[in-house]
């Protein structure tokens, strides 16, 4: 990616409200109009004027990333705390029109084979109400040897979510799925535009929010984890005795190296059993070692900042009562569903914002119900319950 330049022209504290303003130009100094400038994950944004100028009011928000995005230019992102109440000159560079040489090409065959899988893992299951309007612009690459799928989006994805009443401009930075480890990673920036706000839409938003990761992070920041209904346990990973041992895996490997196309009828029973356990069992199991741990075990508060820090794994349980409409009122049903999620941090520390965002979100691994919070259930960071 080419370098994007940013200059601070003026610093002032005379503004009565928080704002960011400035000008966007290209690397020849020509002013660029039509640049989308938005606070990532929110409905807060503007478009640069004919002369490249912009002014964005950011209310009282202190955290988040400001995104500068326009087709055919490299997307630029900068932390909001660095630029509040400052006048900027942002220099965007053109993207390289020549596709770089890749060992694994992006092909139409990969698109046909894996587009439905991508939609399931990225968008979710609601294909009727949640659609990528420019889906054919996506490019797919599949590495058969390493069983890794990669997807890129040369253009900003326009995602229509009728269920939650939003159109989302999603700048997909990276998407990869490792079929060996079953790990899926994707990152991007998003800007929300509200398309409708009926009672039905409000109900869907409330049910999407309750028990979500966004709800959990906001509860951490507000120091209301227990009050909100979350129950957090400490979990460790232990070896699964049913998974083949290292010695058994070597036996299986040596057999497969010698017999490239084994006849299913002649495979020795012990080899067949090792292969079965390798394919059906996980190398590790999760064991709860401490229940209902205090938030001091995984939350640190320092000088007005809140950090999520923990060792091993957190299990986050939540008794979810769905909302329903009775007349014009939103009421919680009496029956509940128990949501259960697992968070893996690998020793990283994540700062939590008031809006429910965290630093380095791609470094926090989710399993369970949190991992189901795909685009179909994604709410803007400036969403408030009842909006």
5-92 is classed CATH 3.40.50.2300 = no
Q: How confident is the model at residue 187 (pLDDT cuts 50, 70, 90)?
A: confident
Q: Which residues share a beta bridge with 176? A: 150, 185
Q: How far is C-alpha 209 from the geometric centre of its chain's CA atoms?
A: 15
Give the full edge-to-edge strand order of the sheet including 45-47: 45-47, 36-39, 65-69, 76-79
Give the strand pairing for 86-92 and 19-26.
Answer: parallel
**Tokens 């520390």, residue located:** 349
Domain range list for the chain = 5-92, 99-196, 197-240+284-387, 241-281
Residues with Cβ within 8 Å of residue 184, at least 6 apart in sequence: 121, 176, 177, 178
SS3 360: coil
Q: How much of the chain, in percent, has pLDDT values that exceed 70?
A: 91
Query: CB–CB of 313/298 below 8 Å?
Result: no
What's the token pair of residue 5?
A: 């330049």
Residues with Cβ within 8 Å of residue 299, at least 6 apart in sequence: 220, 225, 306, 307, 308, 309
Q: How confident is the model at residue 117 (pLDDT cuts 50, 70, 90)?
A: very high
For residue range 22-62, list pLDDT tens digits in order.
999 998 999 999 999 999 999 999 999 999 999 998 876 66
pTM over 0.85: no
Average pLDDT value over all residues in the chain: 88
With a cut of 60, say whether residue 14 has pLDDT above it: no
Closest listed residue to residue 314, CA positions, set 225, 209, 241: 225
How far apart, in whole angstroms, are the C-alpha atoms of residue 355 and residue 43? 13
With a cut of 50, say whether residue 362 has pLDDT above it: yes
How far apart, in whole angstroms, are the C-alpha atoms of residue 377 and residue 299? 26
Q: What is the DSSP string of 96-121?
A: PSSPPP-SS---HHHHHHHHHHHIII
Q: How many CB atoms lie within 10 A of CB 129?
A: 13
SS3 255: helix
Closest listed residue to residue 172, CA positions, set 130, 124, 135: 135
For residue range 189-217, list pLDDT tens digits in order.
999 999 999 999 999 999 999 999 999 99
For residue range 306-325, list pLDDT tens digits in order.
999 998 899 999 999 999 99
Residues with Cβ within 8 Å of residue 10, at least 6 apart in sequence: 86, 87
pLDDT for the residue 13: 42
Between these two residues, 363 and 289, which has the higher pLDDT value? 289
SS3 254: helix
Closest listed residue to residue 54, CA positions, set 81, 92, 95, 2: 92
How far apart, in whole angstroms, are the C-alpha atoms of residue 125 and residue 61? 33
Closest listed residue to residue 75, CA positions, set 161, 187, 176: 187
SS3 247: helix
Cα maximum dimension of the chain: 82
For residue range 130-145, list pLDDT tens digits in order.
999 999 999 999 999 8
Residues with Cβ within 8 Å of residue 108, at least 6 apart in sequence: none
Query: CB–CB of 338/250 below 8 Å?
Result: no
Closest listed residue to residue 220, CA positions, set 321, 309, 303, 341: 309
């Amino acid at each position: 990616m080419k370098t994007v330049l940013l200059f601070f022209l003026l610093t002032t504290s005379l503004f009565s409200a928080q704002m960011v303003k400035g000008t966007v130009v290209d690397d020849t100094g020509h002013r660029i109009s039509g640049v989308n400038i938005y606070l990532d994950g929110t409905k807060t944004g503007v478009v640069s004027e004919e002369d490249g100028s912009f002014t964005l009011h950011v209310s009282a928000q202190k955290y988040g990333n400001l995104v500068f995005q326009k087709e055919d230019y490299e997307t630029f992102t900068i932390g909001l705390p660095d630029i509040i109440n400052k006048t900027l000159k942002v220099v965007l560079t053109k993207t390289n029109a020549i596709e770089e040489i890749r060992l694994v090409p992006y092909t139409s065959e990969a698109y046909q084979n894996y587009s439905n899988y991508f939609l399931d893992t990225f968008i979710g299951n609601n294909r009727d109400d949640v659609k990528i309007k420019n889906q054919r612009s996506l490019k797919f690459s599949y590495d058969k040897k390493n069983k890794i799928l990669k997807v890129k989006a040369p253009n900003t994805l326009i995602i229509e979510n009728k269920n939650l009443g939003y159109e989302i401009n999603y700048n997909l930075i990276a998407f990869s799925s490792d079929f060996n480890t079953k790990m899926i990673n994707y990152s991007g920036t998003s800007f929300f535009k509200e398309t409708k706000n009926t009672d039905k839409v409000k109900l869907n938003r409330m049910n999407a929010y309750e028990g979500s990761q966004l709800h959990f992070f906001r509860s951490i920041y507000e120091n209301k984890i227990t009050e909100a209904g979350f129950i957090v346990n400490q979990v460790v990973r232990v070896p699964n005795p049913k998974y083949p041992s290292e010695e058994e895996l070597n036996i299986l490997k040596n057999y497969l190296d010698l017999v490239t196309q084994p006849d299913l009828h002649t495979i020795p029973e012990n080899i067949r059993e090792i292969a079965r356990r390798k394919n059906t069992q996980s190398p590790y199991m999760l064991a709860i070692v401490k229940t209902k741990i205090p938030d001091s075990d995984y939350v640190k508060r320092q000088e007005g900042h809140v950090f999520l820090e923990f060792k091993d794994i957190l299990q986050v349980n939540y008794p979810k009562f769905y909302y329903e409409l009775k007349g014009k009122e939103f009421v919680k049903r009496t029956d509940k569903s128990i949501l259960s999620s697992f968070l893996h941090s690998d020793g990283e520390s994540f700062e939590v914002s008031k809006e429910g965002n965290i630093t380095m979100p791609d470094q926090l691994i989710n399993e369970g119900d949190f991992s189901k919070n795909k685009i179909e259930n994604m709410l803007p960071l400036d969403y408030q319950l009842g909006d």
